[in-house]
Structure 1
Amino acid sequence: MSNKEAYEQKLQAKLDEMQAEVDKLKAKADEAEADARIEREKEIDRLEAKREEMREKLEEIRNSSDDAWDDIKTGAESAWNSLTESLDKARSRFKK
């Protein structure tokens, strides 16, 4: 397995884990009072947008040549860091 393939599998696994976390937050949002639910749904929408951005980066890596994927990796890592940060913020807000 090449480094590119290993990285693709790693990102896919992380995205799958992230989706499970988003699903948990959606369930919590459904249980919240109306005002809190609206705010939580907005937060989930932001998370899903960032997750989609990460999924697009993964597709770029999958479609890139073995020589070019390393350049795309930097953008993917930046997108992943942004997504992780957003998820951490959402988790802390949902605990309130």
Structure 2
Amino acid sequence: MTDKNAYIEKAKAKIDEWNAEIDKMKAQVDEADADAKIEAQKQLDEAREQRDEAEAKLKELREASDDAWDDMKAGFDKAWDSISGAFDNAMSRFK
């Protein structure tokens, strides 16, 4: 497996992990009382937005040519750190 493929698979696995966290959050939102539900829904929406952004960046990375891989990877790493931090922040406010 090439470095590019391994890197993409690792990022995809993290997004899958986030999807599982979002599913758990959704179940908790469904069980919350009215006031808590409003705030929890905001956090859930924020987490989904971060996940969607990560998936879009991953798609760009997948479609990058081998020649552009190094440049794309550097940009992806920076964006990933930001997205990951925002996702973790949304999750921590939910708990």
Mark yes or no: TM-score above 0.5: yes
| Partner in structure 2 of residue 88 of structure 1 | 88
CA distance in 1, matches of 2:88, 2:20: 14
Contact preservation (8 Å) 2:22, 2:47: yes
| Partner in structure 2 of residue 35 of structure 1 | 35
Count of aligned pairs: 95
CA distance in 2, matches of 1:79, 1:30: 31
| Partner in structure 1 of residue 51 of structure 2 | 51
The answer to whether structure 1 residue 3 and structure 2 residue 6 are counterparts is no
Query: Which stretches of structure 1, 4 residues or longer, exceed 6 Å deviation after superposition?
Result: none
* Normalised TM-score (structure 1): 0.85
CA distance in 1, matches of 2:30, 2:86: 19
Among the aligned pairs, what percent are the same residue? Answer: 52
| Partner in structure 2 of residue 79 of structure 1 | 79
Q: Give the direction of change, closer, same or farther, for the CA distance of 1:82–1:51 in structure 2 (3 Å limit).
A: same
Partner SS, residue 66 of structure 1: coil
In structure 2, give the amino acid aligned to 1:72.
Answer: M
Shift of 1:42: 1.0
Contact preservation (8 Å) 1:50, 1:79: no
Shift of 1:47: 1.0
Q: Give the direction of change, closer, same or farther, for the CA distance of 1:79–1:29 in structure 2 (3 Å limit).
A: farther
* Normalised TM-score (structure 2): 0.86
Partner SS, residue 6 of structure 2: helix
Gaps in structure 1 of 5+ consecutive residues: none
Shift of 1:40: 0.8
